[in-house]
């Protein structure tokens, strides 16, 4: 296979470093790997296939000769660098939320809407982590009958807030064990031994921006412009992997047996659902791998056309870095 030159923008962050790891794991045909970050990370060495690669400062001139740029930077930097990436002739696969709602930017989960990649104009957006995990779990049902509504509650790990999240969680636990004070900086309140029903910032109708992503992005990914979704996002004291409880209402009734059968065969899913044997998805089971575990599948007792399930997935991998690399693979 022809080798392509790849840059990772934000290479030293949690998602960026995972992108480098996954490019190696999946044997992506990298010619030159260019690692880009802020000035304070310039000169840092990162390993790729056993070799040291030096991190460079990201500037407007950093993208010459690149074919694909994987973005793991914040919105402002992604917006700043986009025209320079495209001017250099590279395709920008961006993990920020800056371009997800742009009608001219495909929003892609490869297991669901891979053909949308063909419509790119130099940029493809990577969806929100919880959205990816949830859509991989419920899209098999959508293939049987279109989803009309979704009610979701997310249980999002500390690492979803970046590398500082787990550090703060562990620091709080240690401080509490020694009866010491610990002022939270990453989260608005103490996360240890607590849950925080607030992620993102205030948005429409008393929802948060994080909660609205499930509807807005889900509609675009599954090509369901009329789908309605109510979502509550909760930060939980878990280090890694997000969990989602979701109830879907489909146009036609889907039985539990039909749901189990199609999910068991769906790409990106692992059916993990034997309640009598206490087999169900959990964050500890799903960390550091790329499948979305799906279980607790049962009828919704309030709606004859409803099904309820529970799913878990690694939000740093499938929810971010792996999905981006899979999009890059589609570009090949």
Task: Kindly list the catalytic residues.
Answer: 129, 242
State how far the Cα of 240 lies from the Cα of 28, in Å rounded to an integer.
25
Phi, psi of 291 (to 5 degrees): -85, 150
- Element counts in the chain: helices (H) and strands (E): 8, 13
CA proximity to 315, closest of 129, 72, 74: 129
| C-alpha closest to that of 7 among 324, 288, 289 | 324
∠ CA 50-68-162, rounded to 5°: 70
Token duo for residue 132: 């990816």
Helix (H) or strand (E) holding 325: helix 322-331
Phi–psi pair at 113, nearest 5 degrees? -130, 55
CB atoms inside a 10 Å sphere around CB 77? 18
Q: What is the DSSP letter of 116?
A: G
């Amino acid at each position: 296979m022809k080798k392509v030159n790849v840059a990772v923008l934000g290479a030293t962050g949690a998602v960026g470093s995972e992108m480098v790891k996954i490019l190696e794991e999946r044997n992506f045909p990298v010619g030159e790997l260019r690692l880009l970050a802020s000035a304070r990370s310039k000169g840092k060495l990162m390993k790729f296939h056993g070799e040291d690669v030096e991190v460079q400062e990201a500037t407007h001139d950093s993208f010459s000769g690149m074919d694909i740029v994987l973005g793991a930077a914040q919105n402002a930097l992604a917006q700043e660098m986009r025209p320079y990436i495209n001017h250099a002739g590279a395709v920008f696969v961006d993990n920020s939320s800056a371009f997800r709602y742009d009608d001219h930017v495909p929003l892609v989960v490869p297991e669901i809407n891979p053909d949308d990649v063909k419509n790119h104009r130099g940029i493809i957006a990577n969806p929100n982590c919880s959205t990816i995990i949830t859509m991989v779990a419920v899209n098999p049902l959508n293939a049987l009958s279109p989803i009309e509504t979704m009610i979701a509650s997310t249980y999002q790990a500390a690492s979803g807030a970046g590398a500082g999240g787990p550090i703060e969680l562990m620091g709080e636990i240690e401080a509490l064990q020694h009866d010491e004070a610990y002022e939270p900086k990453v989260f608005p309140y103490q996360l240890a031994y607590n849950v925080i029903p607030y992620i993102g910032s205030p948005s429409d109708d008393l929802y948060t921006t994080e909660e609205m992503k499930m509807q807005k992005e889900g509609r675009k990914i599954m090509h369901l412009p009329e789908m309605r979704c109510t979502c509550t996002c909760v930060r939980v004291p878990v280090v890694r992997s997000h969990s989602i409880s979701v109830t879907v209402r489909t146009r036609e009734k889907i039985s539990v047996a039909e749901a189990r059968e199609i999910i068991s065969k769906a790409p990106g899913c692992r059916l993990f659902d034997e309640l009598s044997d206490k087999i169900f998805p959990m964050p500890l089971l799903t960390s550091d791998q790329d499948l979305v575990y799906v279980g607790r599948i049962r009828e919704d007792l309030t709606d004859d056309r409803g099904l309820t399930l529970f799913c878990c997935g690694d939000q740093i991998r499938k929810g971010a870095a792996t999905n981006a690399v899979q999009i890059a693979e589609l570009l090949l």
